[in-house]
């Protein structure tokens, strides 16, 4: 069910700065609460769709084995059953039949990538969040979103500082409808996940990156995971390129830099307009926080600029560290 945040577009931020007939001059209580969470930098939820290996039975079985740690962790199904291993789910969900139907559709297999059998989703919160509350919030979200429609299974992982839940959702519902996950879908899922966490007493927010003044450096999922392990060839090659450019005295300007800067300027102007609306509505303290928030946004950086900053930060960190004797 859409929340108030998205049924009336709270974070169509630019609507606050619009001039003319569409100009906004007031804020609802829910909008003010959301704005306050954002400028106070309340921890942000993360909902991520894993893009690969979801369209064959073998890939689904491999992923189920991964999230269940090959039988070491329980998988919890939509009906509350706990399983060790996910092989039974393939039969229970009729995934063989779904794959057979898809293969028999010769037109679709020739013209585009085979349709997904499942969707692989990760729900995560920053380090320090109680893992059991993350799991409870995901369960509540899933019951509201998918009950009696899409089958699903989940597992809680606590092997990284950020507690996260892996969920596998059957792509075709019990009524034969295919689940399509669009950007708006993800925005709503993030909002609902945050809402359930707040109901459990966990500070949680769901605000788009660009509104917070952060740059989304998109990487394919395999590159992202490898970079976290320090094994990414792609990132190593990018770093080598940056080192060469720094040695020549200047980084090459990447495509899209101008658009990043233009978007950031527009975001900051919109936040200043929000501050003006807050003042007119009698929220002087929140208006001051809002303006500080906008003023403290770091300049937007491309991936190469981010790598360069990290490379230059490391020698400084080593110089500050005590000498080992």
Domains of the chain: which residue ranges? Answer: 1-42+216-315, 46-199
**Which backbone phi and psi does 316 adopt, to 5 degrees?**
-65, -40
Which residues are CB-neighbours of 314 under 8 A, at least 6 positions away?
none
**Model confidence, pTM:** 0.79
Instruction: Out of 68-72, 83-87, 99-103, 264-268, pick the least confident.
Output: 99-103
Q: How far apart are the first and last CA of the chain?
A: 61
Instruction: Identify the residue with better confidence: 235 or 325.
Output: 235
Both tokens of residue 239?
A: 């770093």
Q: What are phi and psi of 178, to 5 degrees?
A: -85, 135
Retrieve residue 244's tokens. Answer: 């060469």
Distance in angstroms (rounded) separating the CA atoms of residues 225 and 116: 21
Which residues sit opposite 17 in a β-bridge?
none
pLDDT at 318: 46
Residue 176: both structure tokens together: 């034969």
Q: What does the CA dihedral 127, 131, 134, 139 come to, rounded to 10 degrees?
A: 160
Residue 25 pLDDT greater than 90, yes or no: no
- The per-residue b/e assignment along 65-90, b for 16 or more CB within 10 angstroms, e otherwise, is eebbeeeebbbbbbeeeebebbeebb
Give the pLDDT score at 243: 75
Instruction: Give me the chain's average pLDDT, please.
Output: 81
Listed range (154-163, 237-246, 257-266) with the worst mean pLDDT: 237-246
What CATH code would you report for 46-199? Answer: 3.30.930.30
Is 15's pLDDT higher than 90? no
Cα atoms in the Cβ-side hemisphere of radius 13 Å centred on 119 = 20
Q: How confident is the model at residue 88, as a pLDDT?
A: 80
* Higher per-residue confidence, 214 vs 295: 295
């Amino acid at each position: 069910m859409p929340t108030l945040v998205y049924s009336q577009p709270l974070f169509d931020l630019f609507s606050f700065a619009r001039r003319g007939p569409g100009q906004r001059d007031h804020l609802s209580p829910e909008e003010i609460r959301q704005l306050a969470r954002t400028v106070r930098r309340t921890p942000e939820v993360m909902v991520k769709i894993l893009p690969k290996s979801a369209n064959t039975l073998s890939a689904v079985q491999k992923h189920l084995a991964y999230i269940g740690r090959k039988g070491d962790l329980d998988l919890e199904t939509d009906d509350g059953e706990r399983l060790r291993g996910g092989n039974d789910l393939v039969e229970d969900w009729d995934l063989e039949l779904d794959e057979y139907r898809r293969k028999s559709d010769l037109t679709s297999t020739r013209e585009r990538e085979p349709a997904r059998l499942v969707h692989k989703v990760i729900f995560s919160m920053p380090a320090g969040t109680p893992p059991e509350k993350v799991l409870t919030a995901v369960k509540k979200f899933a019951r509201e979103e998918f009950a009696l429609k899409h089958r699903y299974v989940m597992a809680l992982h606590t092997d990284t500082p950020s507690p996260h839940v892996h969920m596998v959702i059957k792509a075709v519902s019990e009524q034969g409808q295919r689940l399509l996950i669009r950007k708006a879908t993800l925005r709503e899922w993030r909002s609902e996940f945050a809402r359930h966490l707040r109901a459990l007493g966990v500070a949680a927010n769901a605000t788009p990156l660009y509104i917070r003044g952060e740059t989304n450096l998109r990487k394919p999922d395999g590159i992202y995971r490898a970079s976290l392990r320090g094994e990414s060839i792609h990132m190593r090659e990018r770093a080598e390129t940056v080192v060469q450019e720094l040695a020549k005295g200047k980084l090459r300007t990447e495509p899209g830099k101008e658009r990043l800067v233009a978007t950031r300027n527009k975001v900051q102007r919109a936040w200043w307009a929000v501050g003006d609306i807050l003042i007119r509505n009698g929220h002087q303290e929140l208006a001051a926080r809002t303006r500080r928030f906008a003023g403290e946004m770091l300049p937007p950086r491309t991936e190469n600029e981010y790598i360069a900053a990290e490379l230059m930060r490391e020698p400084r960190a080593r110089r500050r560290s005590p000498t080992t004797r």
